[in-house]
Amino acid sequence: MNPEPFTTLAQVNAAIVTCEKCARLRQYCTAVAQEKRRAFRQETYWGKPVPGFGDPHAQLLIVGLAPAAHGGNRTGRMFTGDRSGDFLYAALHRAGFANQASATARDDGLQLQAAYIAASGRCAPPDNKPTPAELNHCRPYLIEELRLLKQVRVIVALGKIAFDNVLAVLADRGVALPKPRPAFGHEVVYHLDRYTLIGSYHPSQRNTQTGLLTPAMFDRIFQRARDVISASVLTN
C-alpha cells in the first residue's frame, strides 16, 4: 500500500471490503458464510472483510481484534451480532458514546457519537487467531483510519494483540514510543504524543463470563476516555 493513498474513510472502507491479501482468511470467511450457524441459516452472511464504523469526527478510537465468524462476518459491522458486541455497546451507551445499547444488524439504527470502531484484523480468523503476517497485511488500513480521524485523542485497545498493533500503528505515524515499550494491562494508560492509549481486556465471553472483565471495569475504561476528551476540549 502506498503512503496516504486515501482521502476519506469511505475510500478506506471500500478498500477493506474488497481486500484479498490473506488467502487463508478469505477461504475461511467464505466457508463460514456458506455453511452458516443453524440459528442464522435463514440469513445472508456478509462474508467479506469488515470495515470500520462510527463517527468520522470521533475523539475516541476503539480497536478490537477481528470480526467474529458468526458476528461481524455475518452482519458486516464490527462487534455486531455477538456477545462481545452486546457487552461493548452496552458500555458505550452507558458512557454516552452510542445512541443505543444493542447492535444486531447494519440497519438497526445504532449510531456512535464521538467514537469510531476499528480492528487489528478485518476478516474473521479460525479460532480467533490471526497470524502475524495477516495482522501486518491489515495494519495499513488502521494506519490510514487513524490518519484520517484527525480529532482522535483517546485510543482504547481491546486485548493485547490490539494494544501491540496500536503501538505499531503509532510508531508508523511517527509517534515516539517510550523505553521500555508500553506493556499491556487492563486500565493501563499511556500518554503518547497527542494520543492517550488505554488498555482493556477484550469483552470476549471467556473474559466476561469468568468475571475477568465486569461491566464496572469496562465502564471505568470509557469514563477515563470521556475524562481525557473533556480535558482536551478545555485546553484547546
Region 56-67 average pLDDT = 98
**Residue 3, pLDDT above cutoff 50:** no
Question: In the predicted model, what is the mean pLDDT of residues 39-66?
Answer: 97
Alpha-carbon distance of 106 to 176, in angstroms, equals 37
Q: Per the omega criterion (within 30 degrees of 0), is the bond before 215 cis?
A: no
Q: 233 pLDDT exceeds 90?
A: no
pLDDT of residue 235: 65
Distance CA 52, CA 6 (A): 14
> Which pLDDT band holds residue 224 (cuts at 50, 70, 90)?
very high
Judge contact between 112 and 54, C-beta under 8 A. Answer: yes
Average pLDDT on 56-66 reads 98
Residue 161 banded pLDDT, cuts 50, 70, 90 = very high
Which whole number is the average pLDDT over 55-72? 98
The pLDDT value recorded for residue 157 is 98
pLDDT value at position 232?
Answer: 81
Tell me the pLDDT of the chain averaged across its residues. 96
- pLDDT above 70 as % of the chain: 97
In contact, 131 and 165? CB cutoff 8 Å: no
Is it the case that residue 4 has pLDDT exceeding 60? no
- pTM of the full structure: 0.95
Find the mean pLDDT for residues 75-95. 97
Split at pLDDT 50, 70, 90, the class of 219 is: very high
**Does the pLDDT of residue 236 top 70, yes or no?**
no
What average pLDDT does the segment 134-151 reach?
Answer: 97
5 confidence band (pLDDT: 50, 70, 90):
confident
CA distance 61 to 127: 25
- What pLDDT is attached to residue 221? 98
Give Cα 87 distance to the centre of its chain: 14
All domains of the chain in start order, with CATH: 9-235 (3.40.470.10)
End-to-end Cα, the chain, rounded Å: 34
Strands 60-64 and 115-119, sheet pairing: parallel
Dihedral, CA atoms, 126, 123, 74, 51, nearest 10 degrees?
Answer: 160
- Tens digits of residue pLDDT in 174-187: 999 999 999 999 99
